[in-house]
Chains A and B, each alone.
Chain A
Amino acid sequence: MRRHPGTFVSGLLFALFGAAYLLDLAGVWDFRPGRFWPVALIAVGLTIVLGVAARDRSD
């Protein structure tokens, strides 16, 4: 994660989306992707924050 926060956050999002969809298929959770679009904003913010933190550490 240290060098490529965007890759890490993308992976996290893919894994969460896949898990949510599996829970929906299993009937455990009624997953409606449309409700979760603000997660994209959170992901972009998280990528920026992790990128800044990684740069500070490497300086």
Chain B
Amino acid sequence: MQPDGSTAPGPALGRIVAGMILMAVGAGWLAEAAGWADVPWRALLAGALILVGAALMVGASSGAHRGLIVFGAFLTGAVALSSAIEVIADTPFGGGIGEQTHRPAAADAEYRWGIGTMTLDLRDAEPPLEGSSIAASTGIGELIVIIPRGVAVRIEARSGIGEVVVFGEQRGGLDARVEWSDEASPHLDLRLDVAIGRVEVRR
């Protein structure tokens, strides 16, 4: 009980929350190091944010808890960036700088570009393209893929920070993703990644 009649632990609240988060991180780290489990760190981060939020709601009667609010804001930023960072970490930055255009005669290949614009024009590729798969990425810049009309595609396109446009369907911001699958099968599978920048797929 506080002198003013409130019962919440006041500044101790932040220490309790920090202790609980440290214990969870330590337990997760131990479990991973020992090979007991594959810890979903991004889910743990979101769980920590929920814990901080709940603690602030409970503790609002006992104090302003500014330190905990700052910690919550930091966690919010970390949660928002974590998915973008995953895409950025998955995307190779090698390959070259500037503009590059590929007009492959066959599918089933990987195309990587570092910085700039890479265009992958599949209109001259030998049919049938269905049943093949293509992976393409650009580190920083733009990735443009042109698909021949009438080819059924299944597309997973991601941009860590930027924009993705697949046949006019547009997503932007952090961890922008568009998944597209034509009804007809078999498909031409496309996995398209840009760490920072834009992905565009058109026919």
Contacts and interface: CB of A to CB of B under 8 A. Distances in A.
Interface string A16-47: 11110110010000001110000000000000
B12 interface: no
10 contacts: A10-B53, A12-B53, A14-B72, A14-B75, A15-B50, A15-B57, A17-B49, A17-B76, A18-B46, A19-B50
B57 A11 contact: yes
A32 B63 CA distance: 32
A8 B58 CA distance: 8
A8 B60 contact: yes
A39 to B, nearest CB: 12
Nearest to A12: B57
A13 B6 CA distance: 24
B69 interface: yes
A59 to B, nearest CB: 17
B79 A11 contact: no
Nearest to A34: B173
B79 A21 contact: yes
Contact of A25 (B40, B59, B171, B174): B40
A3 B2 CA distance: 14
B68 to A, nearest CB: 8
Contact of B42 (A1, A2, A6, A25): A25
B170 to A, nearest CB: 12
Contacts of B65: 4, 7
Contacts, number: 90
B129 interface: no
Interface of A: 1-8, 10-19, 21-22, 25, 32-34
SS of A interface (majority):
helix
- In this complex, the interface size class of chain B, counting residues with CB under 8 Å from chain A, is 20 to 34
A15 B53 contact: yes
A6 B64 contact: yes
Contacts of A32: 171, 173
Nearest to B172: A34
A19 B6 CA distance: 29
A24 to B, nearest CB: 8
A17 B76 CA distance: 8
Interface string B35-56: 0000010110011111011111
A33 B80 CA distance: 8
Contacts of A12: 53, 57
Residue of A3, A10, A14, A19 ringed by the most chain B CB atoms within 10 A:
A14
